[in-house]
């Protein structure tokens, strides 16, 4: 659990909800209020037989319910267990309609981080209106962090109805002392989450206590139809795996799934406080086990900005009946409707640079299984559309399962309808995004609202399309739908983009101090003009030509501007969009 500071940003454009054929997009707002909820790390779940009825939890202790098909109306739910509630909520809803919630405690007699002294687990039998709690994992003086849980809902499984919970324990959170370490705990409930049996440690080797790559973290469990439990976590640049064949009573020896180059803590992601690539595990109806995670591409210790900025999302599969995972494959791939340079290009086309795909960032995956267990969907944060690396989307890919564990992958699809600015290293945007698949695929992720000046929760719903020529059910967003402007001050010290070099003839490799990050988009545009006006004086103007995919983004040195209230103008063939921008 990260302790963070607050950040104030600058505004051009908020987020817009719209209904497009197969998708709905909205922002989490509490009923009766106008502003978006200031939150991060969402966990979302919907009822299988009432796909418009859902629940969401966000940091640090907000819970909301909805029955609005457009996800605009959310009613707050009071969740106030005696153990306290402070962050890392995880929601799931069983096939029987029981709502489960796991989260961190907040011991009222302790201080941060000491008050995280146990894992709290809650159950609701009235569709998430009220909850009853229990707790597990208390050890005097130690911190209990980041729970995940799974329910065994495979009919015929020997553990049918059981709930399985895993988490990390710190001897002394953040300590660099060798005497302090971390480990993975596991506990099971055989009465539907009302009580948990005595926990057991399932990690054979401890990690450090620094909450970094050497720490054992990110443990979660999947159950195959035969009732076997499969657990994964990350430690020391490695994805670790363990299994239990007796419903969690005993566990086998840890084995390696894959190397995680650079570890789970992805340092150096542009304009971002912290990003992680923790593993996620799921199983399908055929008994195949899937593990996704993100990791660096810097095999050889490259450290310069352009050489080492790539991170990928990987997938490894343990086929039913096998004892070892397949070699990981990369899930993030260019789709047929996107424009990227061929490998080896200098990244310029006329005035505007389109990212070399191999140099773009993809990280923080989530994964979910379809209701029938025969499909999976993996989503992640993605900067492929941003030449500067200062803006991000959410992308994903659908996987059709098979009895033999062969992978049938769809194209990468964009799930976000608008980009979000990466707000800088002073803003905590959370470690996770959330997926749920009932009758529709639901996504919740953290974006940054320049208008609201804080992180917000963006929500998306994708209806399954009818089977036709495509075997894949989830259709993403394509192209630019409305003119858009995003502008914000970036305080990071990073290498200049090739776009910036082209526009300003900057020859230095580093830019010290602040920069202005700009995103401009116009549907199907091949060219448009952007102006920064201070009163009647035009302080910056550029005609963008050879625009690819209807958008551009660039960094402009803040030293070019004097303080004042600016008007930013996006202009195309007599039409324009204007937005104010205050710079000081």
Residues facing residue 290 across a β-bridge: 282, 317
**Per-residue model confidence as pLDDT tens digits over 430-464:** 999 999 999 999 999 999 999 899 999 999 999 99
Q: What is the pTM of this model?
A: 0.90
Whether the per-residue pLDDT at 92 is higher than 60: the answer is yes
| Torsions phi, psi for 415 (to 5 deg) | -100, -25
Percent of the chain with pLDDT over 70: 86
Overall size of the chain counted in residues:
584
**342: pLDDT strictly greater than 70:** no
pLDDT category at 280 given cuts 50, 70, 90 is very high
Instruction: State residue 443's pLDDT score.
Output: 98
Sorting pLDDT into bands at 50, 70 and 90, what band is 300? Answer: very low
* 424-434 mean pLDDT: 94
- In sequence order, the β-bridge partners of residue 164 are 150, 188
Q: Give the pLDDT score at 499.
A: 32
Q: What is the pLDDT of residues 52-66, one digit of tens each?
A: 999 999 999 999 999
Residue 82 has pLDDT above 50, yes or no: yes
Average pLDDT over residues 314-332: 95
> Bridge-partner residues for 541, per DSSP?
531
The helix (H) or strand (E) run that includes residue 504 is: helix 498-504
Q: Say how far apart CA 527 and CA 541 lie, in whole Å.
A: 13
Q: What's the CA gap between 387 and 355, in Å, rounded? A: 5
The confidence score (pLDDT) of residue 406 equals 87
Distance, in Å, from the CA atom of 10 to the CA atom of 246, rounded to the nearest integer, reads 55
Average pLDDT of the chain, as a whole number: 88
Question: For position 31, what pLDDT does the model report?
Answer: 84
User: Which pLDDT band holds residue 9 (cuts at 50, 70, 90)?
Assistant: very low
Check residues 347 and 333 and name the one with the higher pLDDT: 333
Please write the tens of the pLDDT for every residue from 378-397: 999 999 999 888 999 999 99
In the chain, the domains with their CATH numbers are 37-136 (2.40.10), 487-583 (2.60.40)
pLDDT top residue among 541 and 342: 541
Asked if residue 6 has pLDDT above 50, the reply is: no
Query: What are the CA-CA distances from residue 443 to residues 62, 293, 400 (Å)?
Result: 17, 18, 19
pLDDT at 320 over 80: yes
Using DSSP's 3-state secondary structure scheme, residue 296 falls into strand
Helices (H) and strands (E) in the chain — how many of each?
Answer: 1, 39
Question: Which residue did the predictor score with more confidence, 280 or 2?
Answer: 280
User: Is 469 a residue whose pLDDT tops 80?
Assistant: no
What is the distance between the alpha carbons of residues 291 and 281, in angstroms, rounded to a whole number?
5
What is the rounded distance in angstroms from the CA atom of residue 259 to the CA atom of residue 239? Answer: 6
Instruction: Tell me how far apart the alpha carbons of residues 574 and 560 are, in angstroms, rounded to a whole number.
Output: 27
- Name which of 271, 288, 280 is nearest 313 in CA terms: 280
Q: Specify the pLDDT at position 308.
A: 54
Dist. CA 137–CA 142, nearest whole Å: 10
pLDDT of residue 571: 95
The pLDDT value given to residue 210: 97
Q: Is the pLDDT of residue 568 over 80?
A: yes
Looking at residue 5, what is its pLDDT?
35
Reading the block at residue 474, the tokens are: 């989830």
Instruction: Tell me what pLDDT residue 505 has.
Output: 40
Q: What is the pLDDT of residue 22?
A: 83
The model's pLDDT over 129-157, given as tens digits with 9 standing for 90+, comes to 999 999 999 999 999 999 999 999 999 99
pLDDT of residue 405: 83
Whether the CB-CB separation of 117 and 135 falls below 8 Å is answered with no
């Amino acid at each position: 659990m990260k302790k963070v500071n607050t950040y104030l940003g600058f505004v051009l454009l908020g987020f817009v909800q719209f209904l497009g054929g197969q998708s709905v997009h909205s922002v989490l707002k509490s009923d009766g209020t106008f502003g978006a909820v200031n939150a991060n790390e969402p966990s979302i779940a919907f009822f299988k037989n009432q796909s418009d009825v859902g629940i969401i939890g966000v940091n640090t202790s907000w819970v909301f319910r909805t029955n609005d098909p457009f996800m605009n109306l959310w009613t707050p739910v009071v969740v106030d267990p005696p153990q306290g509630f402070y962050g890392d909520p995880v929601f799931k809803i069983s096939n029987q309609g029981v709502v489960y919630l796991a989260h961190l405690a907040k011991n009222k007699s302790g201080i941060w981080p000491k008050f995280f002294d146990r894992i709290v687990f809650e159950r609701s039998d009235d569709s998430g209106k009220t909850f009853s709690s229990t707790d597990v994992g208390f050890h005097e003086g130690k911190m209990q962090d980041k729970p995940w849980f799974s329910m065994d809902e495979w009919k015929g499984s020997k553990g049918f109805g059981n709930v399985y919970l895993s988490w990390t324990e710190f001897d002394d959170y953040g300590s660099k002392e060798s005497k302090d370490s971390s480990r993975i705990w596991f506990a099971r409930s055989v009465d539907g989450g009302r009580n948990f049996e005595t926990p057991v440690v399932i990690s054979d080797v401890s990690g450090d206590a620094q909450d970094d790559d050497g720490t054992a973290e990110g443990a979660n469990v999947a159950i195959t139809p035969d009732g076997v439990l499969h657990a994964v976590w990350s430690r020391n640049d490695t994805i670790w795996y363990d299994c239990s064949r007796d419903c969690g009573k005993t566990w086998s020896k840890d084995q390696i799934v894959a190397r995680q180059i650079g570890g789970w803590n992805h340092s150096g992601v542009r304009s971002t406080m912290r990003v992680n690539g923790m593993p996620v595990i799921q199983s399908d109806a055929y008994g195949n086990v899937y593990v996704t995670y993100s990791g660096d591409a810097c095999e050889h210790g490259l450290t310069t900005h352009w050489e080492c900025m790539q991170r990928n999302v990987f997938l490894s599969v343990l086929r039913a009946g096998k004892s070892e995972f397949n070699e990981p494959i990369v899930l993030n791939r260019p789709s047929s409707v996107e424009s990227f340079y061929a490998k080896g290009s200098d990244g310029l086309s006329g005035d505007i640079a389109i990212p070399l795909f191999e140099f773009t960032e993809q990280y923080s995956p989530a994964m979910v299984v379809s209701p029938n267990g025969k499909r999976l969907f993996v989503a992640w944060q993605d900067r492929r559309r941003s030449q500067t690396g200062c803006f991000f989307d959410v992308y994903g890919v659908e996987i059709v399962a098979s009895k033999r564990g062969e992978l049938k992958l769809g194209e990468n699809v964009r799930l976000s309808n608008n980009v979000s600015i990466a707000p800088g290293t002073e803003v905590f945007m959370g470690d996770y995004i959330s997926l749920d698949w009932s009758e529709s695929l639901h996504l919740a992720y953290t974006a940054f609202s320049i208008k609201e000046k804080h992180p917000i929760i963006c929500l998306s719903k994708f209806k399954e399309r009818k089977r036709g020529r495509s075997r894949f059910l989830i259709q993403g967003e394509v192209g630019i739908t409305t003119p858009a402007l995003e502008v914000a001050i970036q305080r990071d010290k990073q290498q200049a983009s090739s776009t910036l070099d082209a526009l300003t003839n900057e020859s230095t490799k580093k830019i010290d101090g602040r920069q202005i990050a700009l995103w401009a988009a116009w549907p199907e545009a091949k060219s448009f003009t952007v102006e920064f006006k201070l009163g009647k004086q035009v302080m910056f103007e550029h005609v963008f030509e050879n625009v690819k995919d209807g958008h551009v983004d660039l960094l402009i040195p803040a030293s070019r501007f004097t303080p004042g209230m600016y008007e930013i103008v996006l202009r195309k063939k007599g039409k324009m969009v204007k937005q104010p921008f205050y710079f000081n």
